[in-house]
Amino acid sequence: MVRWADPAKQDLAEIADFIACDDIAMAKRVVDIITTKADSLHVSPDRGRIVPELAKHGINTFRELIVSPWRVVYTIEQFTVYIKLVADGRRDLDDLLFRRIMR
């Protein structure tokens, strides 16, 4: 099972809003691609890599699925994948990840 945390849902909405300023159809396609790939994590949740920005600080419980250029950050708890963050991978994510994940 895959569950989306409210902040991750908000991230996705903000991505869609940003893209929709130029192309509404593209915004819908991007959201569909991200959600389809993220929702497929229920089949093989370990396929995402450990988030390197967190691993260098000894935090190895967060994984990410790259849906270029976006990063879908998640945790696995028993049989459930929790999507925590969707962010543009072209940004420096150290500060964003720590603020979001440590809440």
pLDDT for the residue numbered 100: 66
pLDDT, one tens digit per residue, over 38-65 is: 999 999 999 999 999 889 889 899 999 9
Give the HSE-up count for residue 102: Cα atoms under 13 Å, Cβ half-sphere: 9
Boundaries of domain holding 86: 2-101
Average pLDDT value over all residues in the chain: 90
Q: How many domains does the chain have?
A: 1
Specify the pTM: 0.88
Q: How far apart are CA 75 and CA 98, in angstroms?
A: 14
CATH number for the domain spanning 43: value is 3.30.2310.20
